[in-house]
Amino acid sequence: MIGVHRWCLRSPFRKQLTCKYLQSAPEHEANLPNTPKPPPTTTKPLPTPTSFPKPQLVNATKTVTSSSSSKNPELSNPKLQSLVLSNFPKSQLCFAYGSKILHQLENLPDASTMTDLIFVVKNTMQWHEENMAKNKHHYSRLMRMVGPAGISVLQSTKPYCFFNPFVEVEGVLLKYGVVGESHVLKDLQQWDTLYIAGRLHKPVLILDMDPAFKSQYIKLNLRSALHAALLFLPDRFSDTQLFSVISRISYYGDIRMYLKLENPNKVRNIVEPNIPHFRELYERYIDESPFIERTDYGYCQAPRTEKNLYKMERYLPPKLLYLPEGNIHPKSRVFKFDKNLDPKHQLFRKVAAGDARYCEEQLRLIIMWPSIFQTFKGLLSAGVGKSWKYSAAKLKKSQAGNEAAKGSSVVKFKQSEVGSLMSSDYQNYKHKESNMDPNNRKAFFAMWSMMFIFIIYFINLFDLWDKLT
């Protein structure tokens, strides 16, 4: 059989790809279902590899799939769905995610592991008012003092989420977050913070969805993630590489990664045992994409030329290749733009050459500050005690991942395996020996962290009080 590197260079395949690229691509807009589909190609589609197992869809109408139900027999879908519907106010969308739903390597859930939920609601203040009347004990003492109005003020800063961790409902330990529908739709469409959109890049368990909820935004988000991953992947790649890069997008710039409060192998732990779920989640968008073709060895993407990038831009969220309007040259730490040339032409030329550092920089700018704000907002929303307990649990998982990484060569990704993004992922989080004594380093970090925490804590308290009075 002809090798894939020779097969991709054959002229019929190039002609086929060129025909697909010249088709009109749908605009990057919210009304995705009403967008006219491109006309079908005249060429015969390539067969899907027969070695792929049939994927299983994770939804709220079936029991949890075999990969997770064997690990969590007590958490079947009907029970979790019934728990949500009977104990919480009505929401537009509710979904579960995390290791309690899908099995993860190095992260076997136990009795102390929380089930993560997200409630998307129309009016956050009204939802908190109803939930506080029904589940007042879920909130910290400070949040009970300020009431639903104060919670809405605290929730008004990015990423617009409010979490209640370590809540026990009918014998199930939960951590649930609440976010407004308008902020979620904006995030799914534009990648405003990637806080909710990033979680929906991965397989989740939909527990409840209002018929009026605009589910086309979720589809738009998945399509954006697929095409954004192509900027970081080589010309030929496997499904594991593709899904690893997609999963990595939402962690790039996350403050928890920089502080090593997350397992450095988290992406691998999520992707490897759940490949069938990822395949089913993205199968439709891979087949519809004019930039990806299936091969006997995985996938082959279109030549990364400037012309194709201009067409792919319609499939990408606007912030990923953000450039100021009016031909203004952006300030970038990774690129030096020539003021005499068009900035968009310069950027696309470098991305076409395989340099995706500007896209990585944009992801970092999108994710970093919302993740910092959310970390310190947790001190107010959950209280110091629960926040400390949650941080200790995260640190324990991180240390377990670090110990596993020291004796394993599997986590040392190569650029040829997962692209530049995953290569930088390992480079950023691999553990180097430090000249500072470990005990002194921990004490130094703890001292400055506590100072910063108390400053933010009191600033938020005064600001919250002023807005309420």
pLDDT digits (tens, 9 = 90+) for 425-446: 333 433 333 333 344 444 445 4
Tokens 């949650």 appear where? 390
Residue 174: enclosing H or E segment and its boundaries? strand 172-180
Average pLDDT over residues 26-46: 41
Instruction: With 0.85 as the threshold, say if the pTM is over it.
Output: no
Instruction: Using pLDDT thresholds of 50, 70 and 90, give the confidence band for residue 337.
Output: confident
What token pair was written down for 120? 């998307």
CA 155/CA 163 separation, integer angstroms: 10
361-372 pLDDT, tens digit each = 999 999 999 998
Report helix, strand or coil for 388: helix
pLDDT at site 392: 65
Higher per-residue pLDDT: 35 or 77: 77
Instruction: Report CA-CA distances (Å) from 142 to 149, 166, 378.
Output: 13, 16, 12
The values of phi and psi at residue 242, to 5°, are: -60, -50
Angle at which helix 384-406 crosses helix 357-381, to 10 degrees, equals 140
Query: To the nearest whole percent, how much of the chain has pLDDT over 90?
Result: 42
Residue with tokens 């469409």: 189
* Long-range CB pairs of 269-274, under 8 A, 24+ apart, other chains included: 269/104, 269/105, 269/106, 269/107, 269/401, 270/102, 270/104, 270/202, 271/240, 271/243, 271/244, 271/247, 272/105, 272/240, 273/67, 273/102, 273/103, 273/104, 273/105, 274/67, 274/102, 274/103, 274/202, 274/203
Using alpha carbons, select from 346, 316, 345 the residue that is nearest to residue 230.
Answer: 316
Residue pointed to by tokens 């030929």 = 236
Q: Which of 359, 361, 253 is nearest to 313 (CA)?
A: 359
Q: What is the CA radius of gyration of the chain?
A: 23
Cis omega before residue 55 (within 30°)? no
Q: Which of 72-81, 308-317, 340-349, 412-421 has the lowest mean pLDDT?
A: 412-421
CA dist 415 and 409 (Å) reads: 15
* Confidence bin at 467 (pLDDT 50/70/90): low
The pLDDT of residue 132: 95
- Residue 48 binned pLDDT confidence (cut-offs 50, 70, 90): very low
Residue 26 has pLDDT above 90, yes or no: no
